[in-house]
Amino acid sequence: MLLIQGRDLGTAVGAILAMLALLALVQLIKILLYIVMVAVFALVICSWFSLSGPMIPVLDSMTRPFLRPFRRRIPPIGNVDLSPLILLVVIQLLLMVPIAFAEAAVMRLL
């Protein structure tokens, strides 16, 4: 018999493990989005101050797949690339709407 917080969960262990796996997946997506945000922000800061180092190619290769669709559609304005800004806004919207909704839905099911 499995007791958690005084409840008998003997027959519902499989469903609870599935919900925990789903919650872990949502958290993993959330962490990955935060990593992309930090990488974009660091790349932008490095480009402003013309910093060079071994991390710049790594940051560029991490962020290029995410920035490419925006760079195709948004032209530079006065030699300023606005695609990182748009990507950061899109990531914030993803974190605020679908990820937060999925997280709340899974928590309600638990």
Q: Is the pLDDT of residue 4 over 90?
A: no
Residue 23, both tokens: 């919650």
Give the pLDDT score at 1: 47
Query: Model's pTM, two decimal places?
Result: 0.83
Residue 29, both tokens: 């997506």
What backbone phi and psi angles, to 5 degrees, belong to 77?
A: -110, 110
Q: Taking residues 58-75, report their average pLDDT.
A: 95
Contact (Cβ atoms closer than 8 angstroms) between residue 28 and residue 99:
no
Which of the four pLDDT bands, split at 50, 70 and 90, describes residue 110?
A: confident
Indicate left, alpha or beta for 8 from its phi (over 0: left) and psi (-120 to 50: alpha): beta
